[in-house]
């Protein structure tokens, strides 16, 4: 099974499925549609049923039919097909068998090195087989590891009909990396009792708590006059933008927070004296603190606008997703089964809040409790991304064990 899992992974990561935040289509790129159609052929080849591509939301769905007369829950597994905003063209995976714990030269010509000094997590993989990039691209383990692990699990069960199980639904969707993939997910059609995204990091991760998230876009209208006669007349939009940022809590930024701490993250400032734009994301695990952060920014804008005889700053706030714990904690069955599955396989569950979100953050609020399972990769979204073959095998084993346990509940 290992060889088949790896071969499928290499086949998939070599295909550029990068999403595009500037696009207005669903999915955001044609390459994701092409990849989805290829996935459908692969799912058909291994023998799944109800294989469909939903043109409205870009999701491929399929079923592993139940082989038991027992009335058991339908469990779902979900992964995303797109990769992040980093070069994904001409991905050339590199294998490092029996990793020795030392630095790995990814690209000698460009002196790009994957080093335990920068990434101490590499020491966790001594003796294992690592798959890395060649230093020029990301790898795409986020989330093609999740895809191949899900496919590998249902294929295993198809090949072992002696293992009784209920119906299993799978879904592979677009645009998770740009935050829009799950917006149109059809939970009624998916028809699972609970589900999992397979989109986490190292072995053992089990997450059912995510950030509450909002975007904040600001437009600042300045007043540009000749600097020689600017006294008491000029309004410098760029200076106003900088001042606004300094009025936010300076310790509540990504580089100074961890755990359940929330933050304001300034994504960019651009403009001139005449006009400027700013973009933030706001995050907090606590809904109360999340609302307070949004109100803090709103109050700063109001305070600055009072200085002028007209409104100079326009703020557009948009909630993006909420902490899925609010939904999942009402029915912890999915978390309890995943926890038991890992322990059955001698994997210690690492239950912790996600400092981010997954498709499950939105899907849970659509009525389908969807915690997040590890997929095995490390250092996502860049040239230093890697995954151990052994981690992907363990993720596949956990999926199989969850399906087995669901049959006994």
Do 249 and 257 meet the contact criterion of CB atoms below 8 Å apart? no
**Domain span holding position 28:** 2-210+323-408
pLDDT above 60 for 251:
yes
pLDDT above 90 for 407:
no
Average confidence (pLDDT) over 262-289: 97
Same domain, 81 and 229: no
Same domain, 146 and 9: yes
Q: What does pTM read for this prediction?
A: 0.91
Q: Which of 321, 339, 374 is the endpoint of a domain? A: 321
Predicted confidence band at 276 (pLDDT cuts at 50, 70, 90)? very high
pLDDT above 70 for 1:
no
pLDDT in tens, 104-113: 999 999 999 9
3-class SS at 264? Answer: strand
Do 83 and 176 meet the contact criterion of CB atoms below 8 Å apart? no
Same domain, 152 and 85: yes
Same domain, 147 and 187: yes
CA angle, residues 76, 78, 81, in degrees to nearest 5: 155
Provide the mean pLDDT of the chain: 96
Same domain, 198 and 254: no
Average confidence (pLDDT) over 196-219: 97
Same domain, 274 and 187: no
Residues annotated as catalytic (active site), given as ranges? 82, 176
Q: What is the pLDDT of residue 388?
A: 98
Q: Which of 274, 305, 321 is the endpoint of a domain? A: 321
pLDDT in tens, 33-73: 999 999 999 999 999 999 999 999 999 999 999 999 999 99
Q: What is the pLDDT of residue 149?
A: 98
Question: How many domains is the chain built from?
Answer: 2
Same domain, 167 and 231: no
Same domain, 106 and 252: no
pLDDT above 80 for 2:
no
Q: What is the pLDDT of residue 126?
A: 98
Q: Which of 301, 321, 341 is the endpoint of a domain? A: 321
Same domain, 166 and 219: no
Q: What is the pLDDT of residue 356?
A: 86
% of the chain at pLDDT higher than 70: 100
Residue 231 dihedral angles phi and psi, to the nearest 5°: -55, 130
Do 176 and 143 meet the contact criterion of CB atoms below 8 Å apart? yes
Cα 245 to Cα 239, 285, 315, distances in angstroms: 10, 22, 13
pLDDT above 70 for 257:
yes
Phi-psi region of 400 (alpha: psi -120 to 50; beta: other; left: phi over 0): alpha
Predicted confidence band at 357 (pLDDT cuts at 50, 70, 90)? confident
We report the CATH number of the domain holding residue 270 as 3.30.70.360
- Cα 84 from Cα 324, distance rounded (Å): 22
Per 3-state DSSP, the chain is made up of helix, strand and coil in percentages (nearest 5) of 35, 25, 45
Residue written as tokens 């909630």?
Answer: 319
Q: What is the pLDDT of residue 408?
A: 84
């Amino acid at each position: 099974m290992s060889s088949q899992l790896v071969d499928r992974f290499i086949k998939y990561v070599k295909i550029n499925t990068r999403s595009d935040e500037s696009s207005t289509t669903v999915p955001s790129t044609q390459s994701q549609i092409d990849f989805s159609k290829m996935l459908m052929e692969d799912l058909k080849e291994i023998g799944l049923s109800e294989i469909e591509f939903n043109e409205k939301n870009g999701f491929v769905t399929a079923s592993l039919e139940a082989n038991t007369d027992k009335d058991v829950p339908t469990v779902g597994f979900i992964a995303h097909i797109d990769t992040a905003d980093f070069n994904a063209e001409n991905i050339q995976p590199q294998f490092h068998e029996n990793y020795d714990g030392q630095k790995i030269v990814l690209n000698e010509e460009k002196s790009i090195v994957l080093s335990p000094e920068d990434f101490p997590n590499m020491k966790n993989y001594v003796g294992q087989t690592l798959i890395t990039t060649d230093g020029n691209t990301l790898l795409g383990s986020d989330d093609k590891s999740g895809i191949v692990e899900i496919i590998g699990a249902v294929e295993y069960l198809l090949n072992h009909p002696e293992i009784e199980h209920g119906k299993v639904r799978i879904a592979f969707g677009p645009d998770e990396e740009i935050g829009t993939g799950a917006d149109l997910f059809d939970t009624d059609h998916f028809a699972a009792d609970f589900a999992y995204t397979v989109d986490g990091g190292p072995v053992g991760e089990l997450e059912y708590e995510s950030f509450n998230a909002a975007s904040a876009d600001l437009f600042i209208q300045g007043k540009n006059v000749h600097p020689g006669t600017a006294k008491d007349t000029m309004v410098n939009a760029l200076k106003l933008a900088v001042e606004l940022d300094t009025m936010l809590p300076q310790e509540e930024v990504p580089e100074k927070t961890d755990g359940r701490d929330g933050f304001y993250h300034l994504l960019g400032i651009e403009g001139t004296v005449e006009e400027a734009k700013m973009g933030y994301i706001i995050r907090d695990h606590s809904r109360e603190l999340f609302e307070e952060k949004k109100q803090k920014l709103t109050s700063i804008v109001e305070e600055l606008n009072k200085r002028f005889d007209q409104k100079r700053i326009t703020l557009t706030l948009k909630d993006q997703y909420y902490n899925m714990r609010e939904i999942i904690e009402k029915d912890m069955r999915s978390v309890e089964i995943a926890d038991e599955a890992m322990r059955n396989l001698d994997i210690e569950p690492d239950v912790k809040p996600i400092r981010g979100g997954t498709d499950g953050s939105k899907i849970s609020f659509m009525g389908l409790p969807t915690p997040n399972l590890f997929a095995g990769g490390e250092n996502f979204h860049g040239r230093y991304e890697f995954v151990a073959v052994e981690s992907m095998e363990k993720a596949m084993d956990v999926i199989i064990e969850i399906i087995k346990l669901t049959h006994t509940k």
